[in-house]
Amino acid sequence: MPLGLSLSLSGGALDSAQAVEGNRAASFSDTQAWRFDGASQAFTTVAAPDFFSGSGVTFSFWVKDDGIASKIFIQQRASDSERYRIGFSGGYPLFQNYASAGNSTFLAGATISNDTYTHVCWSIDISSTSNFLANTKCYLNGVDAGKFLGGAANSCASLDFQHGSTHFVGLADAATFIHIDELNEYAVWDVAMTAAQVTALYNSGAALDLSTNSGDYNVSSDLRFWARGEETIGTNAPFYSWTESSSNGLAMYAFGNVSQITSTL
Amino acid sequence: MSHFSEYRYIIVPFSDITDQMASDSVEGSKDYLRHSVAGEDRCVLKYYVGSKPSSMTGIDSYTHSQILAILEDESGDWFNPDSVFELPSV
């Protein structure tokens, strides 16, 4: 059978809540990143985050990999027909949502390069189906990547983007682990960022302290999730991302002893 | 060069994975293993180079690049077509 990823996570998280409180990054300094082996390493939240409860969401991360152009590696998946996923196809950034009410797909119009650290930021507008198609954007290194071939491939058949399941990093589907050389500063906000905010977030190519407003980056209070390479993790033990408290269920669980490496960002 | 030179990987039929073997692996539990998607149900486990657990004695080991070649083989038993997205024709 596929992974039993959801079987025993909640209890472990609660039992270890006190121990992981001390794992938060004490101060901002980007020195480490995550590395996934593609065989058994992944992250998952211990509960189902509700990122899409408002009118939009922003996903942001830095990534570098020798084959990133064809990988999907972020997902919130309840089933094959109830999920959203983020990754790349043919080098094009992909955001894909499946829901019983209808599927949605957005492909950006510029490609990412292998073996090059790239900042990827999805600003997703779910205020209406037309706004999803008009306003959803993917930024690569702070620049709007446009729409795939004039938007021919993009669609929005429903606004059901919230799935009652855990949020995964390093998995493409139910049980396919994805090899990623470096993933850094993965963060989620429950608002769709503007172009100016994303430019500030890109910060001329340097990781930014997301917990503090700085210039046009003024949405720190909307930050819901921030997984930093600097977190202290244990084998098969939950840990908290920087912004978490023990009450909101967004502690993360690292499968297969996810590797932490020196960041080359 | 592989970035995961500290690991060695083994492939074992799920029915043959003992509690000891799972406990000895880096994964630490039968609940968190990658399964094959075709053929006999098999799983991947890993251990640290130089410390192959006695519970895994006699089982072939693979380097990271070798195990990725197996897992990412689109004609093999580990590749799920749903793990990729095919660009539409326009």
The CATH number that applies at residue A100 is 2.60.120.200
- Complex confidence, ipTM: 0.90
pLDDT band at residue A47 under the 50/70/90 scheme: confident
pLDDT on residue A235: 56
- Per-residue pLDDT of A123-138, as tens digits, reads 999 999 999 999 999 9
Does residue A1 belong to any structural domain of this protein? no
Q: How far is A126 from chain B (nearest CA, A)?
A: 22
pLDDT on residue B72: 92
Does residue A158 belong to any structural domain of this protein? yes
Structural domain containing residue A247 = 9-262
Q: What span, in angstroms and rounded, lies between the C-alpha atoms of B22 and A11?
A: 20
| Among B41, B46, B85, beta carbon nearest to A40 | B46
Does residue A2 belong to any structural domain of this protein? no
Q: Do A153 and B90 touch (CB under 8 A)?
A: yes
Cα distances (angstroms) measured from residue A96 to each of A132, A154, A157, A172? 12, 9, 11, 12
Q: For chain B, give every domain's residue range.
A: 7-80
Does residue A137 belong to any structural domain of this protein? yes
Mean pLDDT, residues A37-59: 91
- Per-residue pLDDT of A69-121, as tens digits, reads 999 999 999 999 999 999 999 999 999 999 999 999 999 999 999 999 999 99
Within 13-52 of B, beta carbons closer than 8 Å to A belong to: 26-29, 31-35, 37, 41, 44-46
Q: What is the CA radius of gyration of chain A?
A: 17
**H or E element that contains A77:** strand A72-79
**Number of structural domains in chain A:** 1
pLDDT on residue A1: 38
Q: Output the pTM of the full model.
A: 0.89
Does residue A30 belong to any structural domain of this protein? yes
In A91-223, which ranges are continuous DSSP H helix? 129-135, 195-202
Check: CB of residue A29 under 8 Å from CB of residue A185: no
Q: What span, in angstroms and rounded, lies between the C-alpha atoms of A84 and A103?
A: 9
| Among B32, B44, B83, beta carbon nearest to A5 | B32
Does residue A3 belong to any structural domain of this protein? no
Q: Do B46 and A90 touch (CB under 8 A)?
A: no
- Per-residue pLDDT of A10-30, as tens digits, reads 333 333 333 333 444 446 788
Residues of chain B contacting residue A107, judged by C-beta atoms under 8 Å apart:
87
Q: Do B31 and A4 touch (CB under 8 A)?
A: yes
| Among B4, B31, B41, beta carbon nearest to A7 | B31
